Structure formats: C-alpha cells, structure tokens
Amino acid sequence: MNDHEFDDNLFDERLTEGKIDTSSVETAVTRILRAIGEDPARDGLQRTPERVARMYAELLSGYYADPYSVVNGAIFEVQYDEMVLVRDIEFYSLCEHHMLPFLGRVHVAYLPDGKILGLSKIPRIVDLFARRLQVQERMTRQIADFIRDLLHPKGVGVVVEALHLCMSMRGVQKHNARMTTSAMHGAFRANLATRQEFLENIARGASPLQV
C-alpha cells in the first residue's frame, strides 16, 4: 500500500473540493431557534446562525483535509530504533450521536524503522481526525492506522483519554466519568515489554483530566 492508497472510510476525495455549506447551516440553526420557542430576530440571536455555521466549519474541518497534505513530506530517514512518544496532545471533537463535544488528550508512540515523522505533525494528525463527527473508538484506530501506513514502523501505540459532555450534561449525568481507548500495532501489540513501557511512560506524572 503506497501513501495515496490509505484506506480511510471517512475521507472522501470529493470533500477536498468543497466547503461546509454555511448557508444551509445558518438556515437550519434559524429553524432550530424558532422550534425551541426563541426569536431569531432578537438582539442576542441575530448573528447566532452565522456564528454557529462558522463554528462548524472550524470544528469539522477534518472532513476537508487530506492527511498526507497535513504531513507535507515531513518524513526523515534517521537510524533510530527506540520509542518515540508524544504525550498529552489536547484534542476537541464532536460526538456523532448528539453533536456534543468530547475532549481530552491523546498519547502517540511508535518504534521507527528507518523513518521518523516531524514532531509537529503528530498533533496535526490528531486534530485532523478529531475535527469530524466522531466516536472515540474510531478516532483512536484512525490515528494509529494512519501512522502505521505512513511510516511502516515496527510498532504504533495510541491511547486516548476523554470526557464526553453527552454523558455529563445529559442522560446519566456522570460528571467524573472518563473513557480510555487504545489501538496497538506491531511490537506494541505483540511485545508485552514494549506495550508496558509505553503505558508506564504515559502514566508517569500524569495529571487528572480536567475540563
């Protein structure tokens, strides 16, 4: 599989040619305001549909980005075979079930096999997959799969810790519940010592996840 054959079910090449239809979003928000009994013409709400449309254009920008363009060739041949770990990458996403935010941090590690990735590109990859309507499990897997297919390393490990507002604001209203997901490839899945080193590194000095 070469770089441009990466299989991402959510990424549609056609989306890179367009943008979010902000006019339709504004119309929909205006209808929602009326449906809940508000007056879209009152002072505080006159520009709310426009603001919401701009917000979605930003928060869902991952639909319109090619992951390989984000990397922008920042792959370097380096003879280094120890673990590379970037921890505590903040992210914000929208749950696809209620379109409410979930937020937290991502820890990404890989074992290079002759290639390393520019440091700033890992948070950019996280943001790209976070800025879509998501479920945490899928996002975790997408990040790990992309780095695996991009670098062909000896192994990749991704752990995501998040607070879901759809669970704390509504429904069961459990304000302190956190969700942790992981995706492991190669040595991180096959080698207990490698996986343990990764998990111990992200646990060391970790502070409680806060909003």
Q: Which residues are catalytic?
A: 95-98, 136, 164, 166
For residue 18, the model assigns a pLDDT of: 54
Enumerate long-range contacts of 119-127, CB under 8 Å, 24 or more apart.
119/86, 120/74, 121/70, 121/71, 121/72, 121/74, 122/86, 122/89, 122/147, 123/86, 123/89, 124/70, 124/71, 125/67, 125/70, 125/71, 126/89, 126/91, 127/62, 127/91
pLDDT by residue (tens digit) across 94-110?
999 999 999 999 999 99
Report the share of the chain in percent with pLDDT over 90. Answer: 80
Q: How confident is the model at residue 22 (pLDDT cuts 50, 70, 90)?
A: very high
Helix (H) or strand (E) holding 188: helix 187-190
Best CATH choice for the domain 74-203 from the list 3.30.1130.10, 3.40.1500.10, 3.50.50.60, 3.30.2350.10: 3.30.1130.10
Residue type, 34: R
What is the C-alpha end-to-end distance of the chain, expressed in Å? Answer: 40
Q: Which CATH number fits domain 21-59: 1.10.3720.10, 1.10.286.10, 3.30.830.10, 1.10.10.60?
A: 1.10.286.10
pTM, entire model: 0.86
Which tens digit of pLDDT belongs to each residue from 47-82? 999 999 999 999 999 999 999 999 999 999 999 999
pLDDT at 2: 40
Residue with token string 């956190």: 178
Query: What is the structure's pLDDT at 19?
Result: 80
Q: How many CB atoms lie within 10 A of CB 97?
A: 11
